[in-house]
Amino acid sequence: MDALLQFLFSGLTVGAVYALVALGFTIIYNASDVVNFAQGEFVMLGGMITVFAFEAGLPLPLAALLAILATSAIGVGLNKLAIEPARGAPVVSLIIITIGASIVIRGATQLIFDKQLHRFPSFSGDDPIHVLGATILPQSLWVIGGALAVFVGLWVFFTRTLTGKAVLATANNRVAAQLVGINTGWVMTLSFGLSAAIGAFAGVLVTPITLVGYDVGVALALKGFAAAMLGGMGNPKGALVGGLLLGCFEALTAGYLSSQYKEAVAFIVILGVLFVMPQGLFGRKSTERV
Protein backbone atom coordinates (compact mmCIF):
# COMPACT_ATOMS: atom_id res chain seq x y z
CA MET A 1 0.00 0.00 0.00
CA ASP A 2 2.77 2.44 0.92
CA ALA A 3 4.46 1.32 -2.30
CA LEU A 4 1.38 2.23 -4.36
CA LEU A 5 1.25 5.63 -2.70
CA GLN A 6 4.95 6.15 -3.37
CA PHE A 7 4.41 5.30 -7.06
CA LEU A 8 1.50 7.72 -7.25
CA PHE A 9 3.51 10.51 -5.62
CA SER A 10 6.22 9.94 -8.19
CA GLY A 11 3.72 9.75 -11.02
CA LEU A 12 1.96 12.96 -9.97
CA THR A 13 5.26 14.85 -9.68
CA VAL A 14 6.49 13.77 -13.09
CA GLY A 15 2.99 14.05 -14.52
CA ALA A 16 2.68 17.64 -13.30
CA VAL A 17 5.87 18.46 -15.23
CA TYR A 18 4.38 16.93 -18.39
CA ALA A 19 1.11 18.76 -17.73
CA LEU A 20 2.88 22.11 -17.46
CA VAL A 21 4.57 21.52 -20.81
CA ALA A 22 1.29 20.32 -22.33
CA LEU A 23 -0.56 23.40 -21.03
CA GLY A 24 2.01 25.53 -22.86
CA PHE A 25 1.27 23.62 -26.07
CA THR A 26 -2.44 24.23 -25.56
CA ILE A 27 -2.34 28.01 -25.65
CA ILE A 28 -0.34 28.29 -28.85
CA TYR A 29 -2.36 25.55 -30.49
CA ASN A 30 -5.58 27.32 -29.56
CA ALA A 31 -4.45 30.59 -31.06
CA SER A 32 -2.77 29.33 -34.19
CA ASP A 33 -3.22 25.58 -34.75
CA VAL A 34 0.54 25.30 -34.41
CA VAL A 35 2.11 22.65 -32.18
CA ASN A 36 5.24 24.36 -30.96
CA PHE A 37 8.00 21.76 -30.63
CA ALA A 38 10.22 24.42 -29.09
CA GLN A 39 8.01 24.38 -25.99
CA GLY A 40 10.53 22.18 -24.15
CA GLU A 41 13.20 24.81 -24.77
CA PHE A 42 11.09 27.37 -22.88
CA VAL A 43 11.24 25.06 -19.86
CA MET A 44 14.98 24.69 -20.30
CA LEU A 45 15.42 28.47 -20.63
CA GLY A 46 13.39 29.07 -17.49
CA GLY A 47 15.72 26.80 -15.54
CA MET A 48 18.98 27.94 -17.13
CA ILE A 49 18.37 31.69 -16.90
CA THR A 50 17.27 31.34 -13.27
CA VAL A 51 20.42 29.34 -12.47
CA PHE A 52 22.75 31.91 -13.96
CA ALA A 53 20.91 34.92 -12.58
CA PHE A 54 20.88 33.25 -9.16
CA GLU A 55 24.59 32.46 -9.33
CA ALA A 56 25.25 36.04 -10.38
CA GLY A 57 23.87 37.09 -7.01
CA LEU A 58 20.18 37.81 -7.63
CA PRO A 59 17.73 36.52 -5.00
CA LEU A 60 15.95 33.40 -6.22
CA PRO A 61 12.46 34.92 -6.70
CA LEU A 62 13.92 37.80 -8.68
CA ALA A 63 16.07 35.45 -10.76
CA ALA A 64 12.97 33.35 -11.49
CA LEU A 65 10.96 36.41 -12.49
CA LEU A 66 13.74 37.57 -14.76
CA ALA A 67 13.87 34.12 -16.37
CA ILE A 68 10.12 34.05 -16.97
CA LEU A 69 10.09 37.55 -18.48
CA ALA A 70 13.12 36.88 -20.67
CA THR A 71 11.71 33.58 -21.91
CA SER A 72 8.38 35.23 -22.58
CA ALA A 73 10.15 37.80 -24.75
CA ILE A 74 11.90 34.98 -26.60
CA GLY A 75 8.52 33.36 -27.17
CA VAL A 76 7.15 36.56 -28.69
CA GLY A 77 10.28 36.80 -30.82
CA LEU A 78 9.78 33.25 -32.03
CA ASN A 79 6.27 34.14 -33.16
CA LYS A 80 7.30 37.33 -34.92
CA LEU A 81 10.39 35.91 -36.62
CA ALA A 82 9.43 32.35 -37.46
CA ILE A 83 5.74 31.59 -37.09
CA GLU A 84 4.00 34.68 -38.49
CA PRO A 85 6.09 34.79 -41.67
CA ALA A 86 5.13 31.16 -42.32
CA ARG A 87 1.40 31.62 -41.81
CA GLY A 88 -0.66 29.11 -43.74
CA ALA A 89 2.19 26.63 -44.17
CA PRO A 90 1.28 22.93 -43.96
CA VAL A 91 1.58 21.01 -40.70
CA VAL A 92 4.82 19.35 -41.68
CA SER A 93 6.51 22.69 -42.46
CA LEU A 94 5.40 24.11 -39.13
CA ILE A 95 6.81 21.07 -37.33
CA ILE A 96 10.14 21.62 -39.05
CA ILE A 97 10.13 25.34 -38.30
CA THR A 98 9.51 24.83 -34.59
CA ILE A 99 12.02 21.98 -34.38
CA GLY A 100 14.51 24.18 -36.23
CA ALA A 101 13.79 26.97 -33.75
CA SER A 102 14.38 24.59 -30.86
CA ILE A 103 17.77 23.67 -32.34
CA VAL A 104 18.62 27.36 -32.61
CA ILE A 105 17.63 28.00 -28.99
CA ARG A 106 19.67 25.00 -27.78
CA GLY A 107 22.65 26.05 -29.87
CA ALA A 108 22.50 29.59 -28.53
CA THR A 109 22.09 28.41 -24.94
CA GLN A 110 25.17 26.21 -25.02
CA LEU A 111 27.14 29.16 -26.37
CA ILE A 112 25.83 31.81 -24.01
CA PHE A 113 25.74 29.61 -20.92
CA ASP A 114 27.41 26.17 -20.97
CA LYS A 115 26.87 22.44 -21.42
CA GLN A 116 27.00 21.56 -17.73
CA LEU A 117 24.14 20.42 -15.52
CA HIS A 118 22.87 22.90 -12.96
CA ARG A 119 20.54 23.17 -10.03
CA PHE A 120 19.41 25.75 -7.52
CA PRO A 121 18.02 25.10 -4.02
CA SER A 122 14.51 23.81 -3.45
CA PHE A 123 12.02 26.48 -2.36
CA SER A 124 11.07 24.84 0.93
CA GLY A 125 14.03 22.66 1.77
CA ASP A 126 14.72 19.01 1.02
CA ASP A 127 13.19 17.31 4.05
CA PRO A 128 10.72 14.73 2.74
CA ILE A 129 7.14 14.82 4.00
CA HIS A 130 5.96 11.43 5.27
CA VAL A 131 2.44 10.34 4.37
CA LEU A 132 1.27 6.85 5.31
CA GLY A 133 4.72 5.31 4.89
CA ALA A 134 5.44 7.07 1.59
CA THR A 135 7.47 10.23 1.14
CA ILE A 136 7.14 13.28 -1.05
CA LEU A 137 9.46 16.26 -1.39
CA PRO A 138 8.14 19.77 -0.69
CA GLN A 139 9.35 20.78 -4.16
CA SER A 140 7.04 18.13 -5.69
CA LEU A 141 4.13 19.88 -4.00
CA TRP A 142 5.29 23.13 -5.59
CA VAL A 143 5.30 21.49 -9.01
CA ILE A 144 1.90 19.86 -8.61
CA GLY A 145 0.48 23.05 -7.15
CA GLY A 146 2.01 25.04 -9.99
CA ALA A 147 0.40 22.83 -12.61
CA LEU A 148 -2.99 23.13 -10.92
CA ALA A 149 -2.67 26.90 -10.57
CA VAL A 150 -1.74 27.33 -14.24
CA PHE A 151 -4.65 25.11 -15.23
CA VAL A 152 -7.16 27.07 -13.18
CA GLY A 153 -5.71 30.31 -14.45
CA LEU A 154 -6.03 29.22 -18.06
CA TRP A 155 -9.51 27.88 -17.56
CA VAL A 156 -10.66 31.18 -16.12
CA PHE A 157 -8.80 33.01 -18.87
CA PHE A 158 -10.39 31.08 -21.71
CA THR A 159 -13.95 30.99 -20.32
CA ARG A 160 -14.31 34.15 -18.25
CA THR A 161 -12.25 36.86 -19.93
CA LEU A 162 -12.88 38.65 -23.17
CA THR A 163 -9.24 38.28 -24.23
CA GLY A 164 -9.37 34.53 -23.65
CA LYS A 165 -12.49 34.24 -25.72
CA ALA A 166 -10.79 36.28 -28.42
CA VAL A 167 -7.99 33.69 -28.46
CA LEU A 168 -10.50 30.88 -28.88
CA ALA A 169 -12.35 32.79 -31.56
CA THR A 170 -9.10 33.32 -33.45
CA ALA A 171 -8.39 29.61 -33.35
CA ASN A 172 -11.86 28.77 -34.51
CA ASN A 173 -11.97 31.05 -37.48
CA ARG A 174 -9.30 33.61 -38.05
CA VAL A 175 -11.10 35.63 -40.67
CA ALA A 176 -14.36 35.76 -38.74
CA ALA A 177 -12.44 36.83 -35.65
CA GLN A 178 -10.87 39.67 -37.59
CA LEU A 179 -14.30 40.66 -38.91
CA VAL A 180 -15.70 41.07 -35.42
CA GLY A 181 -12.77 43.32 -34.58
CA ILE A 182 -10.35 40.98 -32.87
CA ASN A 183 -6.72 41.94 -33.39
CA THR A 184 -5.52 38.46 -34.32
CA GLY A 185 -1.89 39.51 -34.57
CA TRP A 186 -2.01 40.67 -31.00
CA VAL A 187 -3.70 37.43 -29.95
CA MET A 188 -0.80 35.49 -31.44
CA THR A 189 1.77 37.65 -29.65
CA LEU A 190 -0.08 37.21 -26.40
CA SER A 191 -0.33 33.43 -26.84
CA PHE A 192 3.36 32.93 -27.54
CA GLY A 193 4.37 35.20 -24.69
CA LEU A 194 2.03 33.47 -22.26
CA SER A 195 2.97 30.00 -23.40
CA ALA A 196 6.69 30.74 -23.10
CA ALA A 197 6.10 32.23 -19.65
CA ILE A 198 4.30 29.09 -18.52
CA GLY A 199 7.12 26.95 -19.90
CA ALA A 200 9.71 29.03 -18.07
CA PHE A 201 7.60 28.89 -14.90
CA ALA A 202 7.66 25.08 -15.20
CA GLY A 203 11.43 25.21 -15.61
CA VAL A 204 11.78 27.25 -12.43
CA LEU A 205 9.62 24.79 -10.50
CA VAL A 206 11.22 21.55 -11.69
CA THR A 207 14.91 22.44 -11.81
CA PRO A 208 15.50 21.63 -8.11
CA ILE A 209 14.11 18.13 -8.81
CA THR A 210 15.22 17.25 -12.33
CA LEU A 211 18.28 19.51 -12.76
CA VAL A 212 18.71 21.59 -15.90
CA GLY A 213 21.13 21.53 -18.82
CA TYR A 214 21.00 22.96 -22.31
CA ASP A 215 19.55 19.76 -23.80
CA VAL A 216 16.76 18.79 -21.37
CA GLY A 217 14.10 20.38 -23.58
CA VAL A 218 13.77 17.72 -26.27
CA ALA A 219 12.58 14.95 -23.99
CA LEU A 220 10.19 17.33 -22.22
CA ALA A 221 8.71 18.53 -25.50
CA LEU A 222 8.11 14.95 -26.66
CA LYS A 223 6.45 13.90 -23.41
CA GLY A 224 4.43 17.10 -23.19
CA PHE A 225 3.31 16.67 -26.81
CA ALA A 226 2.28 13.08 -26.10
CA ALA A 227 0.41 14.19 -22.97
CA ALA A 228 -1.38 16.95 -24.84
CA MET A 229 -2.43 14.57 -27.62
CA LEU A 230 -3.58 11.99 -25.08
CA GLY A 231 -5.82 14.58 -23.44
CA GLY A 232 -6.88 16.13 -26.73
CA MET A 233 -4.98 19.05 -28.21
CA GLY A 234 -6.23 22.51 -27.39
CA ASN A 235 -8.09 21.71 -24.18
CA PRO A 236 -6.47 22.79 -20.87
CA LYS A 237 -8.36 20.03 -19.06
CA GLY A 238 -6.98 17.53 -21.57
CA ALA A 239 -3.46 18.82 -21.03
CA LEU A 240 -3.69 18.52 -17.26
CA VAL A 241 -5.33 15.09 -17.23
CA GLY A 242 -3.12 13.84 -20.07
CA GLY A 243 0.05 14.93 -18.28
CA LEU A 244 -0.90 13.46 -14.92
CA LEU A 245 -2.09 10.21 -16.52
CA LEU A 246 1.12 9.85 -18.51
CA GLY A 247 3.23 10.42 -15.39
CA CYS A 248 1.23 7.88 -13.39
CA PHE A 249 1.37 5.26 -16.18
CA GLU A 250 5.13 5.55 -16.20
CA ALA A 251 5.49 5.38 -12.44
CA LEU A 252 3.09 2.46 -12.03
CA THR A 253 4.73 0.54 -14.87
CA ALA A 254 8.15 1.13 -13.37
CA GLY A 255 6.82 0.10 -9.97
CA TYR A 256 4.82 -2.96 -10.87
CA LEU A 257 5.98 -4.20 -14.28
CA SER A 258 9.33 -3.20 -15.72
CA SER A 259 11.27 0.01 -15.48
CA GLN A 260 12.83 -0.72 -18.88
CA TYR A 261 9.57 -0.50 -20.72
CA LYS A 262 7.76 2.18 -18.75
CA GLU A 263 7.83 4.65 -21.63
CA ALA A 264 6.76 1.91 -24.00
CA VAL A 265 3.66 1.25 -21.93
CA ALA A 266 2.90 4.97 -21.86
CA PHE A 267 3.07 5.19 -25.65
CA ILE A 268 1.05 2.02 -26.12
CA VAL A 269 -1.68 3.51 -23.94
CA ILE A 270 -1.60 6.69 -26.02
CA LEU A 271 -1.86 4.71 -29.25
CA GLY A 272 -4.73 2.70 -27.75
CA VAL A 273 -6.62 5.82 -26.73
CA LEU A 274 -6.14 7.42 -30.14
CA PHE A 275 -7.48 4.31 -31.89
CA VAL A 276 -10.68 4.53 -29.89
CA MET A 277 -10.85 8.31 -29.63
CA PRO A 278 -8.96 9.84 -32.59
CA GLN A 279 -9.28 13.32 -31.01
CA GLY A 280 -7.84 12.34 -27.63
CA LEU A 281 -9.76 12.16 -24.36
CA PHE A 282 -11.21 15.68 -24.39
CA GLY A 283 -10.46 16.85 -27.93
CA ARG A 284 -12.96 18.69 -30.06
CA LYS A 285 -14.52 16.91 -32.97
CA SER A 286 -13.85 18.29 -36.38
CA THR A 287 -15.29 17.40 -39.74
CA GLU A 288 -13.53 17.87 -42.99
CA ARG A 289 -15.07 20.07 -45.61
CA VAL A 290 -14.28 19.96 -49.26
Partner 1 sequence: MMSKTTTALATLAALGALSGAAQAEIRLGVSVSATGPAAFLGDPEAKTIEMLVEQLNEAGGINGEEIALTLYDDGGDPNKARTFATRLVEDDEVVAILGGSTTGTTMSILSVAEDEGIPFISLAGAISIVDPVRANVFKTPHTDRMACEKIFTDMQAQGITKIGMISGTDGFGASMQAQCKEVAGDHGIEILADETYGPQDADMTPQLTRIRNTDGVQAVLNPGFGQGPAIVTRNVAQLGFEIPLYQSHGVASDAFIELAGAEAAEGLRLPGTALLIADKLAEDDPQYKVVTAYTEAYKAKYDQDVSTFGGYAHDAFALIVDAITRAGDSEDPQAIRDALEATSGLVGTTGTYSFSPEDHLGLDLSAFRMLEIKDGDWLPVE
Partner 2 sequence: MTGRNKWISLGVLALLIALLPLFFPSGYYYRVGALIFVNALSVVGLVILIGYAGQISLGHAGFAGIGAYACALAPEHLGLHPALAVLLGAVISGVMAALIGKPILRLKGYYLAVATLGFGILVSMVLTNERALTGGPDGMNVADLGLRSLLRDMGWRLSGGEFWYMICGVVLLVGAWLALNLFDSPSGRAMRALHGSEVAAATVGVDVPRQKLRAFVISAVYASVAGSLLALQNGYITPDVAGFMHSVEMVTMAVLGGVGSVLGATFGAAILTLLPQVLTVFAEYEQLVLGLVMVLVMIFLPQGLLPSIARRLKGRDE
Residue with Cβ nearer partner 1 (221 or 230): 221
Find the DSSP H helices in the chain.
2-32, 39-55, 60-78, 91-112, 138-160, 162-172, 174-179, 184-210, 217-231, 236-252, 262-276
Q: What is the spatial distance between Cα 19 and Cα 210, in angstroms, rounded to a whole number?
A: 15
Any contact of residue 46 with partner 1 (CB under 8 A)? Answer: no
100 binds partner 1 (CB under 8 A): no
Q: How far apart are CA 128 and CA 255, in angstroms?
A: 20
Find residue 130's DSSP bridge partners.
135
Binding mask 250-289 for partner 2 (x = CB under 8 A): ----------xx-xx--xx-xx--xx--xxx-------xx
Angstrom CA distances, 80 to 28, 39, 75, 103, 234, stand at 13, 16, 9, 17, 21
Over the window 20 to 39, marking each residue x when it contacts partner 2 by CB under 8 A and - when it does not, the resulting string is ---------------x----
Q: Does 108 bind partner 2 (CB under 8 A)?
A: yes
Phi, psi of 146 (to 5 degrees): -60, -45
Mark 213-252 with x for binding to partner 1 (rule: CB under 8 A) and - for no binding: x-xx--xx------------------------------xx
- Can residue 111 be called a binding residue for partner 2 (CB under 8 A)? yes
- Nearest CA-CA partner of 27 in 180, 160, 197, 181: 197
Instruction: Out of 5, 222, 237, 252, point to the residue binding partner 2 (CB under 8 A).
Output: 222
89 binds, among partner 2, partner 1, none (CB under 5 to 8 A by kind): partner 2
What are 131's strand-pairing partners?
Answer: 134
Contact residues: partner 2, CB under 8 A: 35, 82, 85-86, 89, 91-93, 95-97, 99-108, 110-111, 218, 222, 225-226, 229, 233, 260-261, 263-264, 267-268, 270-271, 274-275, 278-280, 288-290
